[in-house]
Amino acid sequence: MRKLHKLLHLSQRELKLLIKAFFYIGWLRLAVLFLPIHWIIKFLRFIEGERATQNGIIPIEHIVFIRRTVQIAATYSPWKNTCLVQALTEALLLRKHNIPSTLYLGVVKDREKPERFSFHAWTQCTETKEKDCNQYTVLSSFAVLL
């Protein structure tokens, strides 16, 4: 009941972004299930390599708002969302708001079972890396074209 109350009291801007995030997460979940990743990257017009640093001010509060909205949409969707789906969704929403970003795909050896690897995908808009991502070796990076 409390969550429904929060949903009903979202601003029009917040609700619109949440609906977009749900749509993108669903669409990208299907794409990741049925298409090779290189097709998805090509279709979304991401180019290999990192984005150029942005001159000017990056609206950190807007980036945090988009990231949080994607997390909420992923949490309440009826299917399982991987970090890849969430990172792709975040990159698309950042692009829609003219915020340059880079999509990273990384890997790390499992500490408990060294023969196993863990895969992770994340987006980055600022020069600082997320603390959880420091342990990953970057395999690929893709600049998100505006």
pLDDT, tens only, 33-67: 999 999 999 999 999 988 765 556 777 888 889 99
- Cβ-in-10-Å burial (0-12, 13-18, 19+) of 42 comes to exposed
| Tally of domains in the chain | 1
Q: Is the pLDDT of residue 9 over 80?
A: no
Which domain covers residue 39, as residue numbers?
A: 2-144
**Mean pLDDT, range 88-111, rounded to an integer:** 90
User: pTM of the predicted model, to two decimals?
Assistant: 0.86
Greater pLDDT, 86 or 15: 86
Of 35, 29, 24, 46, residue with least CA distance to 90: 24
Residue type, 122: W
pLDDT given for residue 87 in this prediction: 95
pLDDT class of 144 with cuts at 50, 70, 90 = confident
